[in-house]
Amino acid sequence: MPEIPAIKSAPWRKSSYSNAGGNCVEVAGLTQNSPARIGIRDSKDTSIPSLHVHPSAWTSFLHEVRSGRL
């Protein structure tokens, strides 16, 4: 499934904690979508479809990771 141009051109970024091993995910705010979504993709193969979640779900996930529960 080809990605729509708005997703492909989104400003994808990696965590500053990523190492040189290449085992990273990238995230992007897909605000041009309605409703807004957070895109998550494999940095090694950006041709495969990205996962899209609601911003509140992403915020909850980050909170759990930072708290050490995940």
Summarised one tens digit per residue, pLDDT across range 5-54 is 667 788 899 877 777 777 788 999 987 766 889 999 998 888 888 999 99
- Residue 1 scores a pLDDT above 90: no
Cβ neighbourhood burial of 52 (10 Å; 0-12, 13-18, 19+): middle
The pLDDT value given to residue 58: 95
- Residue 2 scores a pLDDT above 60: no
pLDDT band at 4 (very low <50, low <70, confident <90, very high): low
The pLDDT value given to residue 10: 85
Render the burial of 10-45: b for 16+ CB within 10 Å, e for the rest. Answer: bebeeeeeeeeeeeeebbbbbeeeeeebbbbbbeee
The pLDDT value given to residue 18: 73
Element (H, E) at 41: strand 37-42
